[in-house]
Amino acid sequence: MIGKLFAADLLKTRRTGIWWVVLIGAAGLAAMQALNFGLRYDYLVYDTYAADPWGGLIQETSMFVPIAIYLAMTLLMGMIANIENRQNSWKQTLALPVHRSEVFASKLLCCLVQLLAACVLLAASTAAVGLLLGFGGPLPYLDLLTLGFYPMLASLPMLGVMLWMTLTMRNQAIPISLGIAASMVSVFGASMPEILPLSWPMLVVRGHETLRFVGLGMALFAVLYLLGSIHFSRKDVA
């Protein structure tokens, strides 16, 4: 039954601007670096990153990935929840012969698909920028694919919080404000204590024990998801 719920949720998003958020967010980061390298081509390509232009492009792009991911999680979950709120369709959705936990999981899967699509688009658009700038050598496929994927996995605790809050709170201003604030603070993640989950995406971007913080992000998300699913199942959100 969860497959039908997931298909229905994806169909609902077609009538919103969600996929534009995915496209503009990923392409926007690449476009920003195209402008950055275009304006400072000689300095960046022949001086700063002369030994590895591809690595330089990926490094310059990656510094903005954490804030983009946090903003994407906030906006996407807010828009997904707002579909039900705007149409006052929670009663109809929860009246279906399905467990509430399946409804909760379907909303999560919908957002995850969009985030994964954004990661793929970021990799493709960054590769396109490098090719347009005339970078030689083989494409660093693995580095391009992990450019958004690893920070996204380390950011999953925020998705757990956004999923929980947006689906159980009628007032979307609270979770959206929290998500925007978190995205702004994440810029300084590298200087935060490692115990704070907000620091994990930037630490991953800096190459600091990448797999450790990816694993921590997934583990904490699993806990938050379980708690959120239990709360959603018991709370009257209609």
SS3 assignment for the chain: CHHHHHHHHHHHHCCCCHHHHHHHHHHHHHHHHHHHHHHCHHHHHHHHCCCCHHHHHHHHHHCCHHHHHHHHHHHHHHHHHHHHHHHCCHHHHHCCCCCHHHHHHHHHHHHHHHHHHHHHHHHHHHHHHHHHCCCCCCCCHHHHHHHHHHHHHHCHHHHHHHHHHHHHCCCCHHHHHHHHHHHHHHHHHHHCCCCCHHHHHHHHHCCCCHHHHHHHHHHHHHHHHHHHHHHHHHCCCC
Residue 150 maps to a domain: yes
Of residues 197 and 208, more confidence is placed in: 197
Q: How confident is the model at residue 207 (pLDDT cuts 50, 70, 90)?
A: confident
Q: How confident is the model at residue 159 (pLDDT cuts 50, 70, 90)?
A: very high
**Considering the entire predicted model, what is its pTM?**
0.91
Q: Which two tokens stand for residue 206?
A: 């800096």
Total tally of structural domains belonging to the chain: 1
Q: Are 33 and 126 in contact (CB under 8 A)?
A: yes
How large is the average pLDDT for residues 38-57? 90
Query: Which pLDDT score is estimated for 237?
Result: 58
Q: Among the listed ranges 16-20, 158-162, 165-169, 225-229, which one has the minimum average pLDDT value?
A: 16-20
Q: Is the pLDDT of residue 15 over 80?
A: no
Residue 35 maps to a domain: yes
The domain in which residue 89 lies consists of 2-233
Residue 216 maps to a domain: yes
Residue 238 maps to a domain: no
CA distances from 130 to 140, 141, 148 (A): 11, 12, 16
Q: Is the pLDDT of residue 238 over 70?
A: no
Task: Give the mean pLDDT of the chain.
Answer: 89
Query: Which pLDDT score is estimated for 21?
Result: 87
